[in-house]
Chains A and B, each alone.
Chain A
Amino acid sequence: MSETTTAPTELPVYMLRDGFDPAPELGALRETERVGRARSPFGIDVWVLTRHDDVRAALADSARFSNAAPVRGVPGMPKMDEATIRRMRAGNPLLVDPPEHTRLRRFLTPEFTVRRMRRLEPRIHEIVDERLDAMQRSGPPADLIAEFALPVPSLVICELLGVPPEDRAGFEHRTGRLLNMSIPVDERMRLQAESRAYMSGLVAREQREPGEAMLGMLVREHGDDLSTDELIGIANILLIAGHETTSNMLGLGTLALLRHPDQLALLRDDPDAVGPAVEELLRWLSIVHTGVVRTTTTEVEIGGTRIPAGELVVFALPAANRDPGATTDPDRLDVTRGEVGHLAFGHGVHHCLGAPLARLEMRVAYPALLRRFPGLAEVPGTAAFRSFHVVYGLTELQVTW
Chain B
Amino acid sequence: MSDAETATVRVIADRDVCIGAGMCVYADDTVFDQDDDGLVVLLVEEPPDGEGVRRAVQTCPSGALRLAGR
Contact = CB atoms under 8 A, between A and B. Distances in A.
Contacts of A114: 22, 25-26, 29, 34
Given A109-B20, A347-B61, 6 more contacts: A109-B19, A112-B22, A113-B20, A114-B25, A349-B19, A355-B23
Given A114-B25, A355-B21, A356-B22, A109 B37 contact: yes
Nearest to A93: B19
Nearest to B21: A351
Contacts of A353: 21
A249 to B, nearest CB: 17
Q: At the interface, is chain B mostly helix, strand, loop or mixed?
A: loop
B50 interface: no
Interface in B39-56: 39, 55
A113 B34 contact: yes
A106 interface: yes
12 contacts: A110-B36, A110-B37, A114-B26, A114-B34, A341-B58, A345-B61, A346-B61, A349-B19, A351-B21, A351-B62, A355-B21, A355-B23
B46 to A, nearest CB: 22
B37 A349 contact: no
A112 B61 contact: no
A78 interface: no
Interface residues of B, number: 20
Most A CB contacts (10 A, CB to CB) among B23, B62, B63 go to B62
B34 A341 contact: no
Contact of B59 (A102, A111, A112, A340): A340
Nearest to A111: B38
A318 B34 CA distance: 31
Contacts of B19: 102, 105, 109, 349, 351
Interface in A329-375: 340-341, 345-349, 351, 353, 355-356
Nearest to B63: A60
Contact of B62 (A112, A341, A349): A349
A378 B25 CA distance: 37
